[in-house]
Amino acid sequence: MKRSLCVLAAVIFLGGILDEAGALINDTTTGSFLLSNSTSTTTTVTVEDHSRDTPSPTTAPIKLFTSTARGKHLDARSSSPDNQEVIDKKKKETDDTKTEDEKTELDCPPLGLESLRVDDSQIQASSYLRTGLGPHRGRLNMQAGIEDGDLYDGAWCADYKDRHQWLEVDALHLTLFTGVILQGRNSIWSWDWVETYKVQLSNDSVNWETCMNGTEEAIFEGNRDLETPVLGLLPVPTVARFIRINPQTWYSKGTICLRAEILGCRVHDSNDIYSSEQEPGSKDALDFRHHNYKEMRTLMKSVAEKCPDITRIYTIGKSYMGLKLYVMEISDNPGKHELGEPEFRYVAGMHGNEALGRELLLNLMQYLCSEYKKGNQRIVRLITETRIHLLPSMNPDGYEVAYEKGSELAGWAEGRYTFEGIDLNHNFPDLNNIMWDAQEIAADASKVSNHYIPIPEYYTKENATVAPETRAVINWMQDIPFVLSANLHGGELVVTYPFDCTRDWAPQENTPTADDAFFRWLASVYASTHLVMANPDRRICHYEDFQLHNNIINGGAWHTVPGSMNDFSYLHTNCFEVTVELSCDKFPHVSELPIEWENNKESLLVYMEQVHRGIKGVVRDKLTKQGIADAIIKVEDHGHDIRSAADGDYWRLLNPGEYKVVVWAEGYIPSRRQCTVGTEPLPSICDFTLSKTPIQRLKEIRAKGGKVPQDLQLQLRALRLRKLRSNGVTLCSVRSC
């Protein structure tokens, strides 16, 4: 009978149409299987009447049906020697009846408790301790607020400690349920988790059948800590609409609390009035899957081969474990900085377990290549006028750890850090406090350097705790004159902008930069075009409602992050950078990737286009017409300067308006002019021509052994007279004296 049920489940899932009259199974050796029936709400096929009496937690023998994950594949394993023989026998019978392809197809995706595809209204519970611990909080990887008794706590918790408690999920459609993933309560104050549980299924939420393991009710192994997700596979994949998790035992010093995800595949039902609804996805023909290191490299190579004229793959260094940090360059002249063309970068995978950014950049490079070949004018213009750099995996070591666990089993932090245990977003030099400390002791704070702040000596020593990945990215930033960047993260829905680090180490404090208005514009551009962020009816991810801030927030106002890449980029280079929290789910299931691409596609494109806002130009020597490197471009009333690149070209991001701009360089006389920035997303051209100072010209002429021209002699004499006057020396003729 076990073999019959497994075969029947496979047939239904692989496209079999449910019989209008239901299904009859006449065998009295094992459990139950639920099917849709057109003449009644529920057809429950019960093959044996097992007792539903609840035994005492202290006396009842518990036989576990457990499953764990190895890599990407779901394998049945038992933690109980007594149960191993039963599971091995079942596994052998199942293997005899299914091909390898069928096994892969039967690995059903999550319903979407973590990704929020499952609405709060679809989750019910027998009871709950309080609103902040209601059923809507029982989602995998749900994060709690930091206050004890927070309105947004980190799990569903029952109001009673007995075996009659349950968390129920309505799939809305007939679904082939295959498994449950359980997690304890996220809390810094309480230790609560469910250790064993039963699973019950129904088609009407009234009549329930308990999942069976042979002739006994299946008892699934739950958690032994707060955060590790534990997978429980149903002995027989079963079709139903509703599913309940029924805790049986729990941590002895805690109470019944859990977070969960449900695995299941939607089944065709001709009686479902919503069955014709199209599943959300994408029309773009992209490789929507999670790519490990080898697969990522292969995909990048295939894009380069498809579009060799506009792509180049290069590396900026290696991870601690020796994995190369690959970058895809996309430009009409790859491999070369073109005068006046701005440099843009996207960085993903700083935290290895935040995998969505990695896949979005792989999608983006495929999309740009294919649309360029199709002649999409928007994409052609973007690639022709911008040099784009895409780093899909800054922390490949961490990603491989999370990838091996799988999207639903990596938890909240598995793979976040590098192999050495370093959080890369806290690993850059803290230049903020260097600048602020200098301003505090300076007689005139305006004289303190506000850009190109050098890296402190302690950071450059060999024994400094600096990851090789961080050093590689710093060198990359120094080599290329980037103008604009975004750092792609996951686990929330918000765009943050500098400063990330607060003054005086305050845990939360709005800490704006001199370019706060433009940073707010950049953040708003991404957030307002992101399909989920822009939805006013969306649910909050965890415990903070960023819609109150239009889905953007100053990094320091959220939480302080000393040593962030955003702040370093702003204070050490010319590049403006924001952080994009792409999705509530850090590591979405592969089935969610097409949806996430559509959510972010327009945002990724329109954000890149912002690199062309503001002013740009070339700073040249008046005599030689050559570009002047490291010329300082200062916008009056803006306390942040930038510098020209090696060829003398510069880009200054600014909002629309009139600006007085002063440019100077060592050995040159400063030049001032007014520049106007319009509302259209096009840069205003503001070129500058600088003349060398008389002293600089004299130095160069003397170095060459040349003769000092008369005009230079007059300029030098005038300079000496001005210097004497400034020192208070009175100049007079013999008669007047």
Boundary (domain end) residue, out of 595, 612, 629: 612
Q: Which amino acid makes up residue 476?
A: W
**Do the bridges between strand 219-221 and strand 64-65 make them parallel or antiparallel, or are there none, so unpaired?**
parallel
Q: pLDDT over 70 for what percent of the chain?
A: 81
CATH code assigned at 683: 2.60.40.1120
- DSSP assignment of 641-684: -EE--TTSEEEE---SEEEEEEEE-TTB--EEEEEEE-SSSSPE
**33 versus 456: which is more confidently predicted?**
456
Give the pLDDT score at 513.
Answer: 97
| pLDDT tens digits, one per residue of 227-263 | 999 999 999 999 999 999 999 999 999 999 999 999 9
Boundary (domain end) residue, out of 266, 283, 306: 266
Q: Could you tell me if residue 276 is inside a domain?
A: no
> Is the Cβ–Cβ distance between 4 and 24 less than 8 Å?
no
* Whether residues 541 and 648 fall in one domain: no
Cα–Cα distances (Å) from 584 to 233, 262, 491, in that order, read 25, 17, 4
Q: Could you tell me if residue 110 is inside a domain?
A: no
> Is the Cβ–Cβ distance between 567 and 432 less than 8 Å?
yes
CATH code assigned at 162: 2.60.120.260
Give the pLDDT score at 95.
Answer: 46
Give the pLDDT score at 60.
Answer: 33
Give the pLDDT score at 729.
Answer: 52
Mean pLDDT of 73-86: 33
**120 versus 150: which is more confidently predicted?**
120
Helix (H), strand (E), coil (C) string for 250-310? ECCCCCCEEEEEEEEEECCCCCCCCCCCCCCCCCCCCCCCCCCHHHHHHHHHHHHHHCCCC
The domain of 512 spans: 324-612
Residue 163 pLDDT greater than 70, yes or no:
yes
Give the pLDDT score at 503.
Answer: 92
Give 714's pLDDT tier (boundaries 50, 70, 90).
Answer: confident
| pLDDT tens digits, one per residue of 299-317 | 999 999 999 999 999 999 9
Work out whether the CA dihedral 496, 502, 508, 513 comes out positive or negative.
negative
| pLDDT tens digits, one per residue of 380-397 | 999 999 999 999 999 999
| Ramachandran class of 50: left when φ > 0, alpha when ψ lies in -120 to 50, beta otherwise | beta
Give the pLDDT score at 151.
Answer: 82
Q: Could you tell me if residue 527 is inside a domain?
A: yes
* Whether residues 517 and 628 fall in one domain: no
Mean pLDDT lowest among 374-383, 520-529, 691-700 = 691-700
Boundary (domain end) residue, out of 552, 578, 612: 612
* Whether residues 545 and 623 fall in one domain: no
> Is the Cβ–Cβ distance between 359 and 593 less than 8 Å?
yes
Which residues are known to be catalytic? 581
Token pair 């093959």 is found at 47
Give the pLDDT score at 700.
Answer: 67
Residue 44 pLDDT greater than 60, yes or no:
no
| pLDDT tens digits, one per residue of 457-505 | 999 998 899 999 999 999 999 999 999 999 999 999 999 999 999 998 8
**189 versus 728: which is more confidently predicted?**
189
* Whether residues 684 and 598 fall in one domain: no
Domains in the chain, number: 4
Give 447's pLDDT tier (boundaries 50, 70, 90).
Answer: confident
Give the pLDDT score at 706.
Answer: 73
| pLDDT tens digits, one per residue of 60-71 | 333 333 333 333
Token pair 């994060």 is found at 143
Cα–Cα distances (Å) from 264 to 112, 238, 435, 724, in that order, read 10, 9, 54, 87
Q: How many alpha carbons lie under 13 Å from residue 658 in its C-beta half-sphere? A: 2
Give the pLDDT score at 724.
Answer: 66
Q: Could you tell me if residue 146 is inside a domain?
A: yes
Mean pLDDT of 286-308: 98
Residue 41 pLDDT greater than 70, yes or no:
no
Q: Could you tell me if residue 33 is inside a domain?
A: no
For residues 170 and 205, what is the distance between their CA atoms, to the nearest angstrom?
A: 8
The answer to whether the peptide bond before residue 499 is cis (omega within 30 degrees of 0) is yes
| pLDDT tens digits, one per residue of 397-438 | 999 999 999 999 999 999 999 999 999 999 999 999 999 999
CATH code assigned at 420: 3.40.630.10
For residues 188 and 148, what is the distance between their CA atoms, to the nearest angstrom?
A: 8
* Whether residues 676 and 586 fall in one domain: no
Q: Could you tell me if residue 630 is inside a domain?
A: yes
| pLDDT tens digits, one per residue of 517-530 | 999 999 999 999 99
* Whether residues 399 and 535 fall in one domain: yes
| pLDDT tens digits, one per residue of 325-345 | 999 999 999 999 999 999 999
Residue 19 pLDDT greater than 90, yes or no:
no
Average per-residue pLDDT for the chain: 85
682 CB neighbour count, 10 Å cutoff:
14
Give long-range contacts, CB 8 A cutoff, 24+ apart: 75-79.
Answer: 76/233, 79/221
48 CB neighbour count, 10 Å cutoff:
13
Give the pLDDT score at 568.
Answer: 98
Q: Find the distance separating the first CA and the last CA of the chain, reported in whole Å.
A: 124
Give the pLDDT score at 656.
Answer: 96
Q: Could you tell me if residue 4 is inside a domain?
A: no
Give the pLDDT score at 278.
Answer: 66
Mean pLDDT of 341-358: 98
Q: Could you tell me if residue 317 is inside a domain?
A: no
Give the pLDDT score at 323.
Answer: 98
Q: Which amino acid makes up residue 197?
A: Y
* Whether residues 528 and 663 fall in one domain: no
* Whether residues 354 and 252 fall in one domain: no
Number of alpha helices (DSSP H) and beta strands (DSSP E) in the chain:
16, 31
* Whether residues 636 and 541 fall in one domain: no
Give 290's pLDDT tier (boundaries 50, 70, 90).
Answer: very high
For residues 249 and 733, what is the distance between their CA atoms, to the nearest angstrom?
A: 106
Give the pLDDT score at 443.
Answer: 85
Tokens of 704: 């060459």
* Whether residues 668 and 539 fall in one domain: no
* Whether residues 644 and 499 fall in one domain: no
* Whether residues 418 and 539 fall in one domain: yes
Residue 539 pLDDT greater than 80, yes or no:
yes
**722 versus 693: which is more confidently predicted?**
693
Give the pLDDT score at 69.
Answer: 36
pTM over 0.85: no
